[in-house]
Amino acid sequence: MSLYSEKVMDHFRNPRNVGVIENADGVGEVGNAKCGDIMKIYLKIDDDIITDVKFETFGCGSAIASSSMATELIKGKPVAEAMELTNKAVAEALDGLPAYKMHCSVLAEEAIKNALEDYYSKKAKES
């Protein structure tokens, strides 16, 4: 029996939405000093819909898989719906993570929420 699900392995080996969005509408970065994982999420938002999302992650396979899955879960969704994303939803979409790797899904949730908060603060400055 494998420690990781097929979905975790697939998103680790073939991560979706890797990269940078120049002039992103929102950027969120988080890190975990204990494990060394760092995630950065970039959002492009048009009419309150996330039209594009990219990530850069320095970390373990679970961190990369969590970033990849989290971006897939919010792409094309309204901002309000993306704000509701939980680490549990990310882990479930990956068919589970080992308990000691759940912090990776927490980082993905936090990075997205930070990017959305950045978007809201930029939007508030414009008005």
Residues noted as catalytic: 35, 104
How many angstroms separate the Cα of 32 from the Cα of each of 36, 39, 104? 5, 9, 9
Structure tokens given for 123:
């939007």
User: Taking the alpha carbons of 45, 105, 29, 11 in that order, is the dihedral positive or negative?
Assistant: negative
Instruction: Name the strand (E) or helix (H) holding 31.
Output: strand 26-31
User: Residue 67 in 3-state DSSP?
Assistant: helix
Question: Which residue has 């950065």 as its token pair?
Answer: 40
State both tokens at 71. 């971006």
